[in-house]
Amino acid sequence: MIFNILRDLGYGQLHLGTDAATGLRALIALHSTRLGPAIGGCRVRIYEDEQQAIHDVTRLARAMSHKAAVAGLPHGGGKAVIWATSAIHQPGFDRTAYFQAFGRFVDQLHGSYLTCEDSGTSTRDMDIVRTVTPHVLGTSSGSGDPSPFTALGCRRGIEAVAEVILNRDSLKGLHVAVQGVGAVGGHLARELHEAGARLTIADVDPERVARVARETGAAVTTVDAIFDVECDIFAPCALGGAINTATLPRLRCRAIAGAANNQLESAAIGVELARRGIFYAPDYAINAGGLINVAQEVVGYDAAKARDKASKIYGTIREIAQRAAQSGRPPGEISDELAAEIIARGPQPTT
């Protein structure tokens, strides 16, 4: 069964690690290392069974291969999941020993996998990992908060959408509805405002939405009514699954371009958006600024270089939009195809 999964997803390697002293059970999937060391976060979850953990880690690592490839990074895709038990939430649980054991597991892969923070892990956990292996990114002495870089890349992606899909040469006067103005959405709203866009925003946090509205002059609506806003671009920057069978028919935009992960509830939603002529900027292509920022640590962190690279998301989204406009195919399919082409081409000289 495991080999079938790996074959179907075009793998790669799957490593299983345990540590008797701490009870650690971890899986590290390396989907591809063709472009360079695999990069991807470490997620901690209490899975129901090992199938669920394998399903999660293999799909997530494959998605990281695509994300790193279209971001132009010299990296493959990997992911770690720690299959925890409820003991992890008990007082007295030795998290330090647990993450040291995880770090030793990462170390045994000799740098073919670079780990970093993901859901269920923190910068502090990565600091612990760093005490036993150099193959970790995003520690407290690393590249810091990724959200400004994610927002920058997202704004550049929106510029490409404006150009190719809306036939506009700037964001001036463009109406963007931003769902969720947290870390990324807040920065994005400010970037769009500075570029002259008109904004409507919504967030479950009333203080946050009021602050961003004050800073950007955005109109405020409710978290439900944001789907009905007549606008040029809808930018999901909150949770996954924002575009689903209930919300899709309500959208009154020409394009969807935001930072949230897994914006579409299913692939069928992507097909339906294409049928309705609503362009969807694939989430992993437009929200890669944070990954680009943390990957910069590998070659010596430099914020200016990370910004330059995140800016290039403009070209990626433009290419996806052009191919989508020519073919009428869902942009998600085109992005996966572009990633496969980049991986097949192999490593390129770095600039």
CB closer to ligand NAI out of 210 and 340: 210
- Gap between the Cα atoms of 76 and 64, Å rounded: 7
Distance of CA 116 to the CA centre of its chain: 13
CB closer to ligand NAI out of 113 and 149: 149
CB closer to ligand NAI out of 34 and 190: 190
CB of 303 to ligand NAI, least distance (A): 14
Q: Cα torsion for 270, 282, 238, 266, to the nearest 10°?
A: 30
Q: Is 182 in the site for ligand NAI (CB under 6 A)?
A: yes
Q: Is 223 in the site for ligand NAI (CB under 6 A)?
A: yes
Q: Which of 67, 79, 172, 312 is the catalytic position?
A: 79
CB closer to ligand NAI out of 101 and 181: 181
Q: Is 184 in the site for ligand NAI (CB under 6 A)?
A: yes
CB closer to ligand NAI out of 103 and 180: 180
- Gap between the Cα atoms of 143 and 278, Å rounded: 35
Unique residue bearing structure tokens 């990626």: 316
Catalytic-residue membership of 309: no
Give residues 118-157 in contact with ligand NAI (rule: CB under 6 A).
146-147, 150
Give residues 8-67 in contact with ligand NAI (rule: CB under 6 A).
none
Interface with ligand NAI: number of residues (CB under 6 A): 25
- Gap between the Cα atoms of 324 and 326, Å rounded: 5
Burial 290-302 (b: 16+ CB within 10 A, else e): bbbbbbbbbeebe
Distance of CA 16 to the CA centre of its chain: 25
User: 22: how many CB neighbours lie within 10 A of its CB?
Assistant: 18
- The identity of residue 189, as a single letter, is A
Q: What angle do CA 23, 28, 34 make, to 5 degrees?
A: 165
Q: Interface with ligand NAI by CB under 6 A: which range of 46-54, 177-185, 272-280, 331-339?
A: 177-185
Q: Is 311 in the site for ligand NAI (CB under 6 A)?
A: no
Report CA-CA distances (Å) from 285 to 70, 117, 323.
6, 19, 14
Q: Is 180 in the site for ligand NAI (CB under 6 A)?
A: yes
Q: Is 307 in the site for ligand NAI (CB under 6 A)?
A: no
Binding footprint of ligand NAI on the chain (CB under 6 A): 146-147, 150, 179-185, 202-205, 208, 223, 237-240, 259-261, 287, 290
Q: Active-site residue numbers?
A: 79
